[in-house]
A = this chain, B = another copy of it.
Amino acid sequence: MRSVLGGSIPVKPGITPGSGPGHLGLFGYDPIQYTIGRGALEATGIGFELQPGDVAARCNFCTLDADGNITDRRAGRIPTEQSTPLVRKLREVSVAGVEVFVEPVREHRFVVVFRGAGLEGNVHDTDPQATGVPPLDPRAMDNGSRATAQAAKTFIAEARKLLRDEPQANALTMRGFAGRPDLPSYEEVYGLKAAAIAVYPMYNGLARLVGMRIVGTATTLDEQCSVLEAEWANHDFFFIHFKYTDSTGEDGNFDAKVEKIEQLDAIVPRIEALDPTVLIVTGDHSTPSELKAHCWHPVPTLLFSRVCRPDVCRAFGEKDCVTGGLGQFEAKYLMPLALANAGRLGKYGA
């Protein structure tokens, strides 16, 4: 083989990451130092392009009784077909001096984003995490977040007027208020003009947070490859995301996962034909079909470059990677390794 293998530890040994910290590590950002607030991740996940200064919150429709106490924190998990028109209706709400975006997610869940001067995200959840009590007021946890809390309070009051005749979704709670995470861009950190080619909004969104350009529209791996070929000359780094090795793992479908891995294998020659300086195949976490979930196990990682030091491995799999030349390493070191292999890192010290 002309590559070197290893096991990437997403955060630290034993720690299972969500998609946020998983991708931050993969992109070379220490996922303990850099975090993405819940609201910001939810907005990112549906492809909402957060601006610096925006504050996003995850919202739930809930059911209140005549006394204003919560009887169902999820409004009976109202189906998406019913909740989406309600979410759209909430776009009628206006808050003085603040631009408000209201976006459906799924079932009882939606996202609200406030945009305006002087908004900060340190606002307490309004979900009391209990029934039989009213929702909490959105309370600013610091002076900088007072305007956000006030905007949220106005939004909730106006929204309840619009929802008052709904049998289930007659109110809402807001959680995880968070601004856009302040991540230095790929251009700043690595001097790379980077592009992302993903099918799902979440992964394009995460890539956008580190300054990658979203290029093309693709729904299959073949189409992603075509975008890559078309954009090859315009960027020095490409992040290509393939969802289905993860989702088949989450489904516990071993055979389907094998098939997806084989699909990915099959397009590698098309990528190789572009003659990349460095090619890395890895993931932001493992998702064994046995566990049907993200997990902490090291992620099989392959790095090809003309200057990598090949190892004894003859196949690319979990057990092979254990004896690979990259050893086990924290994911955040993958980008420095990539840059080194690309000849893009200077010497440290004289």
Interface residues of A (CB under 8 A from B): 7, 11-22, 31, 35-36, 38, 41-42, 288, 290-291, 294-298, 307, 309, 311-312, 318-319, 322-325, 327-329, 333, 335-341, 345-350
Q: Is the CB of B322 within 8 A of A312?
A: yes
A347 touching B14 in the complex, CB below 8 Å, given contacts A7-B327, A307-B291:
no
- Complex CA distance for A7 and B326, rounded to whole angstroms: 10
Roughly how many angstroms separate A13 CA and B327 CA in the complex, as a whole number?
11
A333 contacts across to B, CB distance below 8 A: 12-14
Residues of B within 8 A of A347 (CB): 16-18, 294
Q: Return chain B residues, CB-CB under 8 Å to A294.
A: 347
Residue of B nearest to A13 (CB): B333
| Docked CA distance A270–B341 (Å) | 39
Check if B348 sits within 8 Å of A17, measured CB to CB: yes
How far is A149 from B93 in the complex, measured between Cα atoms in Å?
65
**Contact check: which of B36, B291, B318, B350 meets A18 at CB < 8 Å?**
B350
Cα A336 to Cα B15 with chains together (Å): 7
Q: Is the CB of A340 within 8 A of B309?
A: no
Residues on B with beta carbons closer than 8 Å to the beta carbon of A38: 350
Interface pair A345/B13, CB less than 8 Å apart = no
Q: Name the CB-closest residue of B to A37.
A: B350
**Interface-central residue, A309, A319, A328, A340, by most chain B CB under 10 Å:** A309
Copies in the complex: 2
CB within 8 A of A15: which of B288, B324, B340? B340
Q: With the chains together, A309 CA to B337 CA distance in Å?
A: 26
Decide: A348 near B14, CB < 8 A? Known: A290-B307, A311-B319: no
List the 10 closest A-B pairs by CB distance, nearest first: A14-B336, A13-B333, A327-B328, A18-B349, A21-B349, A14-B340, A14-B337, A18-B350, A20-B349, A296-B340
Closest Cβ of chain B to A340, distance in Å, is 4
Q: Is B319 in contact with A312, judged by CB distance below 8 angstroms?
A: yes
List 19 A-B pairs, Cβ < 8 Å.
A13-B329, A13-B333, A14-B333, A14-B337, A14-B339, A14-B341, A16-B346, A16-B347, A17-B347, A17-B348, A17-B349, A18-B349, A18-B350, A31-B348, A41-B350, A291-B307, A318-B325, A322-B327, A323-B323
With beta carbons under 8 angstroms apart, the residue of B13, B18, B323, B329 that contacts A336 is B13
Q: Give the residue name and chain of the B residue nearest to A319 (CB).
A: B312
**Nearest B-chain residue to A325, judged by Cβ:** B322
Assess A349 versus B35: contact at CB under 8 Å? Given A324-B322, A325-B322, A336-B14: yes
Check if A311 sits within 8 Å of B322, measured CB to CB.
yes
Min distance, Cβ A196 to any Cβ of chain B, angstroms:
19
User: For the complex, what is the distance from the CA of A347 to the CA of B297, rounded to whole Å?
Assistant: 13
Please name all residues of chain B whose beta carbon is closer than 8 Å to the beta carbon of A307 when the two chains form the complex. 290-291, 295
Find the B residue at minimum CB distance from A23: B349
Asked if B309 and A14 make an inter-chain contact with CB atoms under 8 angstroms apart, the answer reads no
